[in-house]
Structure 1
Amino acid sequence: MSKNNELVDDLVAKLKRRQLVGSSTVSQATLKLLIVVISKSNWTTCNQLVTIVKTVGQRLVQANPTELAVGNIVRRVLHVIREEFHEAESTISHKNQASTSEFHAAPLTTSSSMYNLLGETGSTPDKNLQFPSSLRSNIIQEIREIKDELENIYDNIKNQASLQIHSNEIIMTIGRSKTVEEFLKMAAVKRKFQVLVAESAPSYSGQEMALELSKAGIETTVIPDSAVFAVMSRVNKVILGTHAVLANGGLVAISGTHMMAAAAKHHSIPVVVCTGLYKLSPLYPYDEDTFNVQFNPDSVLGFEEGDLIDKVTVTNPYYDYVSPEFVNLFITNQGGHPPSYLYRLIVENYDPNDHSFDL
């Protein structure tokens, strides 16, 4: 158990120091840690294992609350644990009933989706049952499938590119998103189109995005953030990446995204968001600022402007909150979905009892 604690402490330290950043990176690190914790920990009941995973999850989330993907992965793992215990309990109950009387009618089974609708997914299996020794390996195997899903995120999303992008279209995006980059590169294999990239000052990550797209042979133009509204009327579609998707369909995305989405809505331009389902969080934006990160304002207004700095307050937020009414479609690794469908995906992937990690 001490080895587990060392691994947890190590990941907590990296998250606190922001040595690990980015949804994909922290998700894979979290999943790798949870596999080790579940494999090496001593547990015999569902409650014991859920408590162990929630305790680890609570520490990881507190280490860097803005990396919402950490909590999402922990919730996915908890959902797998509950389902595997329920399946084992159901199998044992059926065997016991069958051995009691060979004339006993088989009980009706209830699908997991019906359990979700009735809010029964969080019920705890009977702690007196003797679960099979294979249960631990079954849980690990299911978690490894989540790991495989993360590794194939880009492939599953970019394969839908040719359905969303058509020839001679003008596409606009902002900053650099690996998911959007792969999506556009795949579309360029069969389609010829133009991309306008807002530079996303003060990080100027849009310049890096434009460079990568131009290397792939895509006609790309970098525009300043201030020109987004002016050229939006020429655009056919806005394609965005995101840091996280909240339960109401809102986005936590790179600063400047809200401005672009609002301009698109004004001109009735469709906004498409490319994201893996691991970024979908069951949390609601009651206070949008809690999901933001404030960076050093020196890149916005240098400290050499001493006289001016004394008279103004400068903030440099890294993220924007984008309301769901600005988004038309989510392209995920499980297909395209409108914002109104996200509640269903949350029900399928997370247990209501795990939205909070309170023990």
Structure 2
Amino acid sequence: MLLLEPDQEMSDDEMRTFLKNIQQGDDVGTYEAAYQTVKFLRQKLMDTDWVVAREAIELIKKHGAQLRGDQDSSIGNMIRRVLKIVKEEYFSSGKDKTDEKDTQESLQKLLLAEDDEERYDKRKANLKDSVIDSINVLLSELETSSDLVCRHSLEHIQHNEVIITLGNSRLVQAFFQAAAKEKKKFQVIVAESYPNNRGHLLAKALVELGIKTTLIGDAAIFAMMSRCNKVIIGTQSVMADGGLKALSGTHTLALAASHYSVPMLVLAPMYKLTPQHLSAYQDDFNHTVSPHHVMPYSSGEILSHINISCPLYDYVPPRLVTLYATNIGGYSPPYIYRLLADLYHQDDYNLQLSSQSDFSANVTS
């Protein structure tokens, strides 16, 4: 598994290896993927002699398509964030940034934009420097995102509460650790998340931190939920409708919490927010892994008569989520659409369609 320090740059081959690890379900982490993606794109923008915004946008989409592969997690989200930065700097370049009217993209500007602005072909002074500076701000935001999420721990964890979680999330561990440092006394129940049993790792880490922890099997989630005060989990992605793409088994946990009216808190830094929706024809939402933990290969006679699927992720609908704790505050699922408008440009919601449109435009021209 490839892990780099925050100040270490990635080569093209290293980035592809990094992406391969994510697709195979290795414990790389969405933060590392997001952070290294932004650094990789920043390096490409710095090394290339582009003049107008359209050239920068094409460069980002070209390298972004190589990085994303067939998945759309935090890597795709960061590609959209960098594209939004380029477009914002294009419209605000040369204007007084202290004037709020000039710095915001109004609805009228989006609807009535001139043809040359739509293609981002105008030369703007110091555009490249402004884009690089804004990307550096984005990197700083990513570096502090986990700490800002953990600051909410004292608001959401009360004395003598019993909290249930699932799997092994480093952000969830840091969240509990932040509360424990402030002398909060609480108990954590960890579902083991079979067959990977990642919950064992979290339970061990919490015990070492001095937090009272109980490890249970996934089948015991419903029975234990009646004595829990709260569910706190991490997630792979926050979908555009406010739902979750989370570790397999999370839907079961959310249904049990809903049955007993137990609030479910999801820790979700902004780099996990994606403008994608779950659809019936979407093939890249999930990934399956080898089922050898469930059914050993030694059972060859049985395996010849059955098909076993082991998906990595569950979809959890927004009605089962109580609150998202992000690095910019707490939000309910219905507010997700507003955050999407702030983070991403509408034209970049579907990166694959956007890239195909650009390619067709270049061919016809």
TM-score class, shorter-chain normalisation, is 0.7 to 0.9
What's the counterpart of residue 296 of structure 1?
A: 290
Taking the TM superposition and a 5 Å limit, the aligned residue runs for 1:108-257 are 109-110=101-102, 112=104, 114-115=106-107, 124=117, 129-132=122-125, 134-190=126-182, 191-257=184-250
What's the counterpart of residue 11 of structure 1?
A: 15
Given the superposition, is the C-alpha separation of residues 85 and 22 from structure 1 closer, same or farther in structure 2, using an over 3 Å criterion?
same
- Aligned counterpart for 2:323 among listed residues 320, 329, 337: 329
Question: Are residue 45 (structure 1) and residue 52 (structure 2) matched?
Answer: yes
Question: Are residue 312 (structure 1) and residue 306 (structure 2) matched?
Answer: yes
Given the superposition, is the C-alpha separation of residues 50 and 221 from structure 1 closer, same or farther in structure 2, using an over 3 Å criterion?
same
Q: Deviations over 1:281-323 (max 9, x none)?
A: 0011113653111111101110112222223221111111111
Structure 1, unpaired ranges of 5+ = 1-5, 93-106
TM-score by length of 1: 0.87
Query: Do 1:122 and 1:353's aligned partners in 2 also have CA atoms closer than 8 Å?
Result: no
Q: In structure 1, give the amino acid aligned to 2:341.
A: V
In 2, the alpha carbon distance for the partners of 1:128 and 1:199 equals 54
Q: Deviations over 1:213-238 (max 9, x none)?
A: 11111100000000000110100000
What's the counterpart of residue 95 of structure 1?
A: none
Given the superposition, is the C-alpha separation of residues 127 and 24 from structure 1 closer, same or farther in structure 2, using an over 3 Å criterion?
closer
**Number of residue pairs the alignment of both structures matches:** 337
Given the superposition, is the C-alpha separation of residues 42 and 215 from structure 1 closer, same or farther in structure 2, using an over 3 Å criterion?
same
Q: Percent identity?
A: 34
- Aligned counterpart for 2:257 among listed residues 264, 289, 297: 264
What's the counterpart of residue 65 of structure 1?
A: 71
In 2, the alpha carbon distance for the partners of 1:122 and 1:217 equals 61
Query: Do 2:77 and 2:274's aligned partners in 1 also have CA atoms closer than 8 Å?
Result: yes
What's the counterpart of residue 3 of structure 2?
A: none
The Cα shift of 1:88 comes to 1.0
Q: In structure 1, give the amino acid aligned to 2:148.
A: N
Secondary structure of the corresponding residue to residue 208 of structure 1: helix
Secondary structure of the corresponding residue to residue 146 of structure 1: helix
Query: Do 2:54 and 2:119's aligned partners in 1 also have CA atoms closer than 8 Å?
Result: no
Query: Do 1:76 and 1:350's aligned partners in 2 also have CA atoms closer than 8 Å?
Result: yes
Given the superposition, is the C-alpha separation of residues 119 and 231 from structure 1 closer, same or farther in structure 2, using an over 3 Å criterion?
farther
Question: Are residue 79 (structure 1) and residue 84 (structure 2) matched?
Answer: yes
The Cα shift of 1:116 comes to 9.1
Query: Mean Cα displacement is larger for which, 143-152 or 15-24?
Result: 15-24
What's the counterpart of residue 103 of structure 1?
A: none
What's the counterpart of residue 41 of structure 2?
A: 34
In 2, the alpha carbon distance for the partners of 1:321 and 1:117 equals 36
In 1, the alpha carbon distance for the partners of 2:301 and 2:219 equals 26
Structure 2, unpaired ranges of 5+ = 1-9, 359-365
The Cα shift of 1:189 comes to 2.3
Secondary structure of the corresponding residue to residue 278 of structure 2: coil
Secondary structure of the corresponding residue to residue 347 of structure 1: helix
- Aligned counterpart for 2:273 among listed residues 261, 271, 280: 280
Given the superposition, is the C-alpha separation of residues 199 and 289 from structure 1 closer, same or farther in structure 2, using an over 3 Å criterion?
farther
Query: Do 1:195 and 1:219's aligned partners in 2 also have CA atoms closer than 8 Å?
Result: yes
In 2, the alpha carbon distance for the partners of 1:37 and 1:310 equals 49
Secondary structure of the corresponding residue to residue 160 of structure 2: coil
TM-score by length of 2: 0.86
- Aligned counterpart for 2:63 among listed residues 56, 60, 78: 56
In 1, the alpha carbon distance for the partners of 2:113 and 2:80 equals 13
Query: Do 1:116 and 1:347's aligned partners in 2 also have CA atoms closer than 8 Å?
Result: no
Larger Rg: 1
Given the superposition, is the C-alpha separation of residues 135 and 200 from structure 1 closer, same or farther in structure 2, using an over 3 Å criterion?
same
Secondary structure of the corresponding residue to residue 193 of structure 2: coil
Given the superposition, is the C-alpha separation of residues 57 and 128 from structure 1 closer, same or farther in structure 2, using an over 3 Å criterion?
closer
Q: Deviations over 1:124-171 (max 9, x none)?
A: 368675422x32122111111111111112210011100011111100
Taking the TM superposition and a 5 Å limit, the aligned residue runs for 1:99-110 are 109-110=101-102
Secondary structure of the corresponding residue to residue 50 of structure 2: coil
In 1, the alpha carbon distance for the partners of 2:112 and 2:29 equals 34
Query: Do 1:8 and 1:56's aligned partners in 2 also have CA atoms closer than 8 Å?
Result: no
The Cα shift of 1:119 comes to 6.0
What's the counterpart of residue 93 of structure 2?
A: 88
The Cα shift of 1:17 comes to 5.3
In 2, the alpha carbon distance for the partners of 1:261 and 1:14 equals 31
